[in-house]
Amino acid sequence: MPAYALPRTASGRLRSRWSLALGLVLTAVLSLAALLAGPPADAEVSRTSCPAGSFCVWPETGFGGQSRELALRTTGVERCVTLETGWEAESFANNTGHPVTVYQDPHCDEEADFDTHPSGSQTPQAGYVARAIQVWSH
């Protein structure tokens, strides 16, 4: 056996200690990365809660500003509902139990931008200012 070689048992223990140390360092790095990444996506959901049976709008992207809600019982189904003056929305949440089409045009004209969102969906950035909605029965 060469003079610089460790006996087999000492070498195994040294390798085990290095593995343990590497594992601890890796765990610490991953934990720090998770902390720096911020809250999970579910944290956003609780911040943007919208009552059951409602479609909620925010005037700013990222659910910013004062929210307003349109209750399904007052909007009706399958008719164009123009958002009141000052209710233009750049983010919204659908908790109506129905799909909702959101229109850029205040009269639900399909020449402007529009998208349909399933119930339970949240849109932090619409990509256009929403001015009207239509709740669908299916």
pLDDT per position as a tens digit, 13-32 = 555 666 665 555 545 555 54
| pLDDT for residue 43 | 40
Give percent helix, percent strand, percent coil of the chain, each to the nearest 5.
30, 25, 45
Query: For 43-135, CATH number?
Result: 2.60.20.10
Spatial separation of the C-alpha atoms in residues 138 and 128, rounded to whole Å: 25
CB atoms inside a 10 Å sphere around CB 30: 10
76: closest CA among 133, 14, 2, 13? 133
Helices (H), the chain: 8-37, 41-47, 72-75
What is the per-residue pLDDT across 56-91, written as a single tens digit (0 to 9) for each? 999 999 999 989 998 888 888 889 999 887 678 999
Percentage of the residues of the chain whose pLDDT score is greater than 90: 49
| pLDDT for residue 23 | 55
Residue type, 46: S
| pLDDT for residue 123 | 95
Q: What value does the CA radius of gyration of the chain take, rounded to a whole number of Å?
A: 27
